[in-house]
Amino acid sequence: MKKELKIAITIFIVVFIIDQVVKFGFANLSWDVDGPYMSLKLAYNYGVAFSMFSFLEHNLKYIQLVIILIATLYLFKNKNVFKEYYIAIALLYAGGLSNILDRFTYGGVVDYFYWHHWFEFAIFNIADVMIDLAVVIIIFKQIKQSREEKKQNEIKS
């Protein structure tokens, strides 16, 4: 468990710092760049994915902190879940807490990747990508585990 915790903390720190440094650059140093397929443009998201729940703008950061607290308590009680998903959890926490810090620091989440070739897509940031990556890892591990259990049940039958 100590090894997994060290790796998770390292991943968390690296992702969190990189995300915050990049966001600082866009929010304070005008790093905007226009490109033919994708642009880097500062935008603030006052909601969650695709600006949903933006009407909760001022309370959202507190709601999200409560969710993080509940998730942390769950992980303390279910250490086996942490051991199985520590990389995904580190990515989720880094991305989630970085976006929450944005809400306290800038009033909204700092977004800057803007895809606009063939179709327009939501503006997002590194933290969002890490959260998505964590979800993909969790789904992949769940599918793999389900297939292994199914194979074990077939062997027993």
Rounded to 10 degrees, the C-alpha dihedral 20/26/27/28 comes to 100
How many domains does the chain divide into? 1
Residues 6+ apart with CB under 8 A from 4: 82, 83, 86
Q: Tell me which residue range forms the domain holding 125.
A: 2-156
CA distance 47 to 61: 10
Residue pair 137/87 in contact (Cβ under 8 Å)? The answer is yes
| Residue of 19, 102, 111, 132 marked catalytic | 111
Looking at every residue in the chain, the average pLDDT score rounds to 93
- Is the torsion defined by CA of 13, 19, 23, 29 positive or negative? positive
Catalytic residue status for 102: no
Place 157 in a pLDDT band, splitting at 50, 70 and 90: low
Predicted model pTM: 0.91
Each residue of 17-50: pLDDT tens digit? 999 999 999 999 999 999 999 999 999 999 887 6
Hey, which bits of the chain come out as E strands?
38-45, 109-115
pLDDT: is 7 or 117 the higher one? 7
Each residue of 44-72: pLDDT tens digit? 999 887 676 777 778 899 999 999 999 99
Residue 92 bridge partners (DSSP): none
User: Looking at residue 6, what is its pLDDT?
Assistant: 97
| Residue of 19, 32, 102, 128 marked catalytic | 128
Catalytic residue status for 32: no
